[in-house]
């Protein structure tokens, strides 16, 4: 799931949410009707288990998580104090690829993961090629000081239509994104029933 390369518009239609943000997937989602993708439409109501599975698929596709990564985050969320569901989404929001995307340095999360894998971004002035790294308040991400990269990501920053969440701070001149604090529940970028996901993962 972390490296999904199939038709993204179909995933958006099937899950009923803007999971993939590429231009083509966005256009297909905006002009969709209420039917499912494909010739053989699913009929009837989903069971509670089926609804929970759809919610889990949203998290995996949206944040680019494999089943193993999701379960590892779930176990860590259980160990932390507070609500397990909120803890899970908080950790997803603090992944390096998500911070790069929400900071406006890329247009999509897959693009952020690709750039991180190629070493285009530094964390606290050190090279980091692990997209799943969880950032902490006070840490900073910036584009490597190479002319072509500065030009590429600087152009994206100026053109991206991406509301900046309050837990991040962006310096467009220096192409840096700083984590100010942990995100609040209403700042999570993926609306879903996380309680159903937690119940499913706890089985």
Mean pLDDT of the chain: 85
Cα separation of 148 and 137, whole Å? 29
Q: How confident is the model at residue 36 (pLDDT cuts 50, 70, 90)?
A: low
Going by their DSSP bridges, the two strands 140-143 and 121-123 should be labelled as antiparallel
Q: Which of 79, 84, 115, 86 is nearest to 98 (CA)?
A: 115
Q: How confident is the model at residue 23 (pLDDT cuts 50, 70, 90)?
A: low
Domains of the chain: 8-35+44-91+188-201 (1.10.1050.10), 95-181 (3.10.290.10)
Cα separation of 162 and 14, whole Å? 24
Residue 70 neighbours by CB under 8 Å, 6+ apart? 56, 59, 60, 201
Q: What b/e string do you get for 6-43 counting C-beta neighbours within 10 Å, with b at 16 or more?
A: eebbebbbbbebebbbeeebbebbeeeeeeebeeeeee
In this predicted model, what pLDDT tens digit does every residue of 85-123 receive, in sequence order?
999 999 999 999 999 999 999 988 999 999 999 999 999
Cα separation of 109 and 87, whole Å? 20
């Amino acid at each position: 799931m972390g490296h999904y390369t199939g038709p993204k518009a179909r995933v958006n239609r099937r899950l009923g949410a803007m999971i993939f943000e590429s231009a083509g997937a966005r256009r297909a989602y905006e002009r969709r009707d209420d039917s499912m993708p494909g010739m053989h439409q699913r009929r009837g109501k989903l069971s509670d288990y089926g609804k929970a599975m759809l919610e889990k698929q949203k998290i995996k596709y949206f944040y680019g998580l494999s089943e193993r990564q999701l379960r590892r985050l779930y176990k860590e969320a259980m160990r932390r104090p507070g609500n397990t569901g909120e803890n899970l989404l908080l950790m997803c929001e603090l992944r390096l690829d998500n911070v790069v995307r929400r900071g406006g340095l890329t247009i999509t999360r897959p693009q952020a993961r690709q750039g991180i894998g190629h070493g285009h971004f530094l964390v606290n002035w050190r090279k980091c090629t692990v997209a799943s790294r969880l950032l902490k308040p006070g840490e900073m991400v910036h584009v490597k000081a190479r002319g072509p990269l500065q030009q590429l990501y600087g152009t994206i920053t100026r053109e991206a239509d991406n509301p900046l969440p309050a837990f991040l701070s962006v310096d467009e001149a220096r192409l840096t994104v700083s984590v100010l604090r942990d995100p609040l529940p209403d700042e999570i970028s993926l609306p879903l029933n996380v309680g159903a996901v937690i119940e499913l993962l706890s089985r």
